[in-house]
């Protein structure tokens, strides 16, 4: 086959090829006619007659123009579990006997509905349109599918094979309805949704205190002032925004992929990252993203709806890959988000050891480790020692989590909405508490 459509939107075409039926019919007809002459057997001419006429009629009817096939998905961006329709458009000579199409789903896609293989006749005019329902299974960047097209002509004496590839499609991870309290251990900036520990112009009540020079008159609390005979003002704490840096540990993906395409540790991490980013960006905070495996391509903290799209787009490229060696993660964080709250999403297993969290905490960032292991065990290779090895890994993991606790780094399993509240509150209190350097 040769590339005929050009670029990524084309199709591969073979040209009209003779089939086995053509060779069989031509060979048999020639043999029968030869034997008829050689053996003086007119009955052999009778037997050969339909084959010879079929050859002559169908060879004269052989189509001259080629076949083209284009497969398109109705939507170029899908949510997980969202359905779409793949439309295969086949242009072939009207004289073709039949058009056989086999549509295949791309990675992370699934065909639904009718049979994937169909045999249709070409319509009297215009191209043949073959719709096929499909569904997105898992987040990622993929192609929605491909289609094999075989056109038969001249009563099966010729065939034309073509392959159509669809345009790329983005499958966006579904964001859970996640919310968290507004307590943040480290707030920055002058405006925002989080209550800071500092007094200032905000909305949350800090207390009532005597009036001092410089206080705004509109802050005077008249009921208290009249009761005490001295001017008092209502004090508030300033509202602050914060920067949240999501660090994704993609060095390992614990999953039993043969059982289900989703549900692995990386899958949980990506969903959690998208949910967290959406929540904090919706609150007016700044959110950044750093893929552990690609530390040199961080997304700096920023705010806004467009930034959420940027983060989600970056999450689509996350694949399990080993970390790119020893690199100063705290230094990267210090450069892109100096005072950010770091949320490290990691299964805390094997290659994804928790040493990184300790390094980040030592650099002065409040760190919250979100455990993304989930309940699923890697059951792909159920061998004699698999279960024992898995239990050993879990024991090591448990020890690592305890060690993180000793460093004051909380670890919380991702459970969706509200799962971070208690830990965030504890972190806020811990940052406010007096520190003792040892």
Partner 1 sequence: MTARITAPRPALTAVLVRLGVLLAGLAAILAQPQLHTVPTAVMLIGVVLAAAFPARIGATVAIAGFVLAWTTAYGWHVTPSAPRTVFAAAALYALHATSSLAGFLPLDARVDVGVLRRYALRCVPVVIGAAVIIGVNYAIPRFAGSALVELAGLVGVLAVLGIASWLLLRSRSTSEPENRTNR
92-111 binders of partner 1 (CB under 8 A): 97-98, 100, 102, 105, 107-111
Segment (H or E) for 25: helix 20-39
Which of 7, 213 has the CB closer to partner 1? 7
In the region spanning residues 115 to 144, those forming contacts with partner 1, defined by CB under 8 A, are 115, 117-121, 137
Query: Contacts with partner 1 in 151-180 (CB under 8 A)?
Result: 152, 155-160
7 binds partner 1 (CB under 8 A): no
**Separation in Å, CA 100 to CA 19, 92, 134, 150, 162:** 15, 12, 19, 5, 10
CB of 149 to partner 1, least distance (A): 12
Nearest residue (CB) to partner 1, 21 versus 133: 21
In whole angstroms, give the CA distance from residue 79 to residue 135.
Answer: 9
What minimum distance in Å lies between the beta carbon of 108 and partner 1? 7
Indicate the residue among 230 and 319 with the shorter CB distance to partner 1.
319
Q: Distance of CA 57 to CAs 16, 44, 157, Å? A: 17, 20, 11
Cα(340)–Cα(334) distance, integer angstroms: 9
Give the contacts of 45 (CB within 8 A, at least 6 positions apart): 32, 33, 36
E strand or H helix that includes residue 134:
strand 128-136
Out of 82, 87, 150, 294, point to the residue binding partner 1 (CB under 8 A).
Answer: 150
Residue 52 or 206 with smaller CB distance to partner 1? 52
Which residue's CB is nearer to partner 1, number 57 or number 181?
Answer: 57
Q: Which has the closest alpha carbon to 159: 108, 84, 245, 93?
A: 93
Q: How far is the CB of 152 from partner 1 (least distance, A)?
A: 5
**Please, which residues bridge with residue 99 across strands?**
120, 151
Shortest Å distance, C-beta 101 to partner 1: 9
- Point out which span in 50-58, 297-305, 354-362, 378-386 binds partner 1 (CB under 8 A): 50-58
What ranges in 346-408 are assigned the alpha helix state H?
355-362, 386-406
* Residues within window 9-38 making contact with partner 1, judged by CB under 8 A: 13, 15-33, 35-37
The secondary element (H helix, E strand) that includes residue 270 is: helix 265-282
Q: Are strands 341-346 and 11-18 parallel, antiparallel or unpaired?
A: unpaired
Q: Under the criterion CB under 8 A, does residue 39 sit at the interface with partner 1?
A: yes
53: enclosing H helix or E strand? helix 42-60
Radius of gyration (C-alpha) of the chain in whole angstroms: 34
Torsion angle of C-alpha atoms 413, 414, 417, 419, degrees rounded to 10: 20
- The answer to the question of residue 59 lying near partner 1 (CB under 8 A) is yes
- Decide whether 97 or 400 has the Cβ nearer to partner 1: 97
Shortest spacing between CB 64 and partner 1, in angstroms: 7
Q: How far is the CB of 248 from partner 1 (least distance, A)?
A: 21
114 binds partner 1 (CB under 8 A): yes
- Is the separation of the CB atoms in 360 and 367 below 8 Å? yes
Nearer to partner 1, 62 or 209 (CB): 62
Binding to partner 1 (CB under 8 A): which residues in 306-335? Answer: none
Min CB(294)–partner 1 separation in Å = 22
Cα-to-chain-centroid distance, residue 27: 56
The binder of partner 1 chosen from 7, 60, 218, 326 (CB under 8 A):
60
Report the chain's terminal Cα–Cα distance, integer Å: 72
The backbone torsions φ and ψ at residue 36, rounded to the nearest 5 degrees and listed phi first, read -60, -40
CA pair distance 101, 13, nearest whole angstrom: 14
Binding window for partner 1 (CB under 8 A); candidates: 40-48, 246-254, 266-274, 323-331: 40-48
Cβ-based nearer residue to partner 1, 96 or 274:
96
Q: If binding is defined by CB under 8 A, does position 395 make contact with partner 1?
A: no
Question: How far is the C-alpha of 345 from the C-alpha of 357, rounded, in Å?
Answer: 10
Residue 371 near residue 347, CB atoms below 8 Å: yes
Site for partner 1 in 244-273 (CB under 8 A): 257-258, 261
Please pick, from the candidates 8, 56, 331, 429, the single residue that binds partner 1 as defined by CB under 8 A: 56
368-387 residues in contact with partner 1 (CB under 8 A) are none
The minimum distance between CB 49 and partner 1, in angstroms, equals: 4
């Amino acid at each position: 086959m040769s590339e005929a459509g050009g670029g990524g939107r084309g199709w591969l075409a073979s040209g009209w090829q003779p089939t086995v039926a053509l060779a069989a019919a031509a060979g048999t007809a020639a043999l029968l006619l030869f034997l008829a002459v050689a053996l003086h057997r007119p009955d052999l001419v009778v037997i050969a007659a339909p084959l010879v006429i079929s050859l002559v009629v169908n060879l004269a009817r052989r189509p001259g123009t080629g076949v083209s096939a284009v497969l398109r998905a109705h939507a170029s961006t899908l949510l997980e579990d969202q359905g779409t329709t793949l439309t295969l458009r086949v242009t072939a000579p009207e004289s073709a006997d039949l058009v056989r199409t086999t549509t295949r789903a791309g990675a992370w896609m699934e065909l639904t509905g009718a049979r994937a293989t169909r045999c249709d006749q070409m319509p009297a005019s215009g191209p043949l349109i073959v719709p096929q329902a499909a569904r997105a299974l898992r987040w990622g960047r993929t192609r929605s599918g491909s289609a094999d097209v075989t056109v038969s002509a001249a009563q099966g004496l010729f065939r034309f094979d073509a392959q159509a590839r669809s345009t790329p499609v983005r499958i966006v991870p579904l964001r859970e309805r996640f919310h968290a309290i507004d307590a943040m251990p480290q707030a920055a900036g002058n405006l925002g949704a989080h209550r800071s520990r500092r007094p200032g112009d905000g909305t949350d009540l800090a207390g009532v205190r005597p009036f001092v020079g410089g206080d705004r008159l509109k802050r005077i609390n008249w009921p208290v002032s009249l009761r005490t005979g001295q001017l008092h003002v209502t004090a508030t704490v300033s509202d602050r925004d914060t920067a949240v840096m999501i660090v994704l540990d993609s060095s390992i993906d614990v999953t039993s992929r043969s059982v289900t395409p989703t549900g692995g540790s990386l899958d949980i991490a990506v969903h959690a990252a998208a949910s967290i980013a959406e929540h904090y960006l919706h609150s007016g905070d700044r959110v950044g993203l750093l893929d552990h495996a690609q530390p040199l391509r961080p997304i700096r903290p920023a705010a806004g709806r467009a930034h959420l799209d940027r983060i989600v787009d970056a999450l689509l490229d996350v694949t399990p890959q080993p970390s790119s060696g020893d690199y100063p993660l705290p230094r990267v964080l210090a450069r892109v988000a100096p005072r950010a709250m770091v949320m490290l999403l990691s299964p805390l297993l094997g290659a994804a050891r928790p040493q990184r969290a300790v390094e980040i905490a030592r650099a002065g960032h409040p760190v919250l480790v979100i455990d993304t292991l989930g309940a699923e065990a890697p059951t792909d290779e159920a061998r004699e020692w698999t279960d024992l090895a898995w239990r050993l890994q879990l024991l090591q993991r448990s020890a690592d989590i305890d060690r993180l606790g000793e460093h004051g780094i909380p670890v919380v399993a991702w459970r969706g909405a509200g799962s971070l509240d208690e830990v965030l509150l504890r972190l806020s209190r811990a940052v406010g508490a007096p520190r003792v350097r040892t």
